[in-house]
Structures are given as structure tokens and as C-alpha cells.
Amino acid sequence: PKEPSGSLSADSIKIKKEVANAFVKRKKRSSLYERYFEYYKSPMEQMHERCENYAPCDYLSDQIGFALAYNRFFG
């Protein structure tokens, strides 16, 4: 069914699962190293997230830099 604008609706666009799998491939994880870092974040990344989740630290990090802002609020 066509919409008044002439474009197809989302319901009318369907393809079989087998056909979709032919051109949409899921990336396979190749090593335990990649899986480990997918689940566990580095200490620096954890610090960045902690600062980003605290609005005053996030704002100040844009002004004076992450290291100074983090040390001011959490250091």
C-alpha cells in the first residue's frame, strides 16, 4: 500500500530472513582479548564516565580540561 506522498509504508517493505542474512553479516568476535575489553573498561574510561555523569565536572572539563576538572571534584 502506498501512502499519499507516494512513498512505500514500512509494512510493505519485507524480505525473507534468509535473504536478509545474505547481505547483513554479524561481525564475529575473534579473540578473548576483544571480549574482555568489551565487558571491562579501563580505569581512565571509568574516570571519564564518572565525570561525564556529574554535570558540574562535565561542564568544567569543557572549560579547563578533563584532568583538572576530575581532580577538583573527585581527586
- Find how far residue 63's CA is from the centre of its chain: 25
0.85 exceeded by pTM: no
> What is the structure's pLDDT at 70?
96
Dig out the grid coordinates for 49 from the structure: 564516565
Dig out the grid coordinates for 58 from the structure: 562535565
User: For each of the chain's 75 residues, which pLDDT tens digit applies?
Assistant: 555 565 666 666 777 777 776 766 666 666 777 777 777 888 999 999 999 999 999 999 999 999 999 999 998
> What is the structure's pLDDT at 44?
92
Is 57 within 8 Å of 70 (Cβ atoms)? Answer: yes
**Helix and strand totals (H; E) in the chain:** 5, 0
> From CA 73, how far away is CA 75, in angstroms rounded?
6
